[in-house]
């Protein structure tokens, strides 16, 4: 597989620019909480010769590929098989108390999308798996087979923001009574048949259902909710965090976490802000940044990205 072809890091230059002030120093440590195939990390290791990177990933395939691609950097590169809400344990396990940078590149990876057998892509027939760590947990086929119609509706509505959630849940329950739904092509066919023609013209009808199943299988939102405060807590003063999110549910969690960290804790009505109430972080970008039009044209996976970033300015005593 040509990894250079399938994996183009999103907003790489901007990510490097934002993290550089924190990483361009002796002994700096960056946590790449979503290592994937190591595209972002390789750029950081090349740019900053004194940098150590702790790369986290729950996907054994991704870690194996990253080990091969980053082998030249020796012990400057550390690999940890974990979900990213385990960031604090991972940092401690590598012998560090705090770090100077954290990077999250959220969502499904190029590797997972392009390996049909993983079952993430609605455009390719494969077993309905969708586990980012294929060694454990329920598959998407398990969710389809086991959950009630009401629960399937909730999953599609909450995690896919799918307006036809009730219709799709009803169609799936009806279809699984006739035969098990174990492959992506089966599910796509069921969803397409249940979709009004006018809606089909607006985009692939299975897109949001597949997103919702992937989030459910991997517990992505609950993991992210736990990971954000843990990541912020690992940052040293002057340390920076950059997060790339690809759908609104993820971005909402990131936005709230960073805004809370960058807000004063002073009770309303105080005539002045005491030092202990000052924010621990400052936001580095206004709102969320998007990839440039040229990058979106060259790399379609950059189209939905929303980048947010913050810097720790103080640590409470």
**Is 112 flagged in the annotation as binding?**
yes
d(CA 106, CA 118): 18
Q: Mean pLDDT, 10 residues at a time, over the chain (317 residues)?
A: 63 97 96 94 96 95 92 96 96 97 85 58 87 88 97 97 96 98 95 92 90 94 97 98 95 97 76 74 95 93 95 90
Dihedral, 245, 246, 252, 256 alpha carbons, nearest 10:
10
pLDDT of 97 reads: 95
Ligand-binding site membership of 105 (annotated):
yes
For the chain, give every domain's residue range. Answer: 3-111+220-312, 122-218
pLDDT of 297: 93
What order do you get walking across the sheet with 77-81 strand by strand?
77-81, 52-57, 29-32, 99-105, 235-245, 306-312, 281-283
**Tens digit of pLDDT for each residue in 183-228?**
999 999 999 999 998 888 888 999 999 999 999 999 999 999 999 9
For residue 123, the model assigns a pLDDT of 79
Any binding-site annotation on 27?
A: no
Enumerate helices (H) and strands (E) in the chain, giving the number of each. 15, 7
| pLDDT at site 114 | 55
Q: What is the pTM of this model?
A: 0.89
**Cβ–Cβ under 8 Å, residues 127 and 121:** no
pLDDT, position 88: 97
Collapsing DSSP to helix, strand or coil, 301 comes out as helix
The reply to whether domains 3-111+220-312 and 122-218 share a CATH topology is no
| SS3 call for 15 | helix
Which pLDDT score, from 0 to 100, does residue 61 have? 87
Q: Which of 35, 182, 217 is nearest to 111 (CA)?
A: 35
Q: Is 39 annotated as a binding residue?
A: yes
- Measured distance CA(21)–CA(252) in Å, rounded: 26
Domain boundaries 3-111+220-312, CATH class: alpha beta
Beta pairing, strands 306-312 & 235-245: antiparallel
Consult the annotation and say whether 57 binds a ligand.
yes
Would the annotation count 277 as a binding residue? Answer: no
- Over residues 140-185, the pLDDT tens digits come to 999 999 999 999 999 999 999 999 999 999 999 999 999 999 999 9
Helix, strand, coil percent content, the chain, rounded in steps of 5? 50, 15, 35
81 is written with which tokens? 């098989």
* CATH H-level, domain 122-218: superfamily: Putative methyltransferase TM0872, insert domain (1.10.150.170)
Residue 273's Cβ-side half-sphere holds a number of Cα atoms within 13 Å equal to 9
């Amino acid at each position: 597989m040509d990894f250079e072809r399938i994996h183009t890091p999103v907003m790489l230059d901007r990510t490097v620019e934002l993290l550089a002030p924190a990483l361009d120093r002796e002994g700096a440590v960056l946590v790449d909480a979503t290592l994937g195939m190591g595209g972002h990390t390789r750029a950081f290791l090349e740019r900053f010769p004194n940098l150590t990177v702790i790369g986290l990933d729950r996907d054994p395939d991704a870690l194996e590929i990253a080990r091969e691609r980053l082998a030249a950097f020796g012990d400057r590169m550390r690999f940890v098989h974990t979900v990213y809400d385990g960031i604090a344990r991972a940092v401690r396990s590598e012998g560090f108390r705090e770090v100077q940078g954290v990077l999250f590149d959220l969502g499904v990876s190029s590797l997972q999308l392009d390996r049909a057998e993983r079952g993430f892509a609605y455009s390719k027939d494969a077993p309905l798996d969708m586990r980012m760590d294929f060694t454990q947990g329920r598959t998407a086929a398990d969710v389809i087979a086991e959950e009630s119609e009401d629960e399937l509706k909730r999953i599609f509505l909450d995690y896919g923001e799918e307006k036809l959630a009730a219709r799709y849940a009803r169609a799936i329950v009806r279809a699984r009574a006739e035969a098990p739904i174990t492959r992506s092509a089966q599910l796509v066919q069921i969803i397409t048949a249940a979709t009004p023609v006018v809606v089909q013209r607006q985009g692939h009808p299975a897109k949001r259902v597949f997103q919702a199943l992937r989030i459910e299988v991997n517990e992505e939102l609950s993991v992210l909710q736990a990971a954000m405060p843990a990541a912020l807590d690992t940052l040293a003063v002057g340390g920076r965090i950059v997060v790339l999110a690809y759908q609104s549910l993820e971005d909402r969690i990131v936005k709230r976490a960073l805004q809370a960290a960058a807000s004063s804790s002073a009770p309303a009505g105080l005539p002045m802000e005491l030092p202990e109430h000052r924010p621990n972080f400052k936001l580095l970008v206004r709102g969320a940044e998007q990839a440039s039009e040229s990058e979106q044209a060259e790399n379609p996976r950059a189209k939905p990205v929303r980048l947010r970033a913050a810097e720790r300015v103080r640590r409470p005593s």
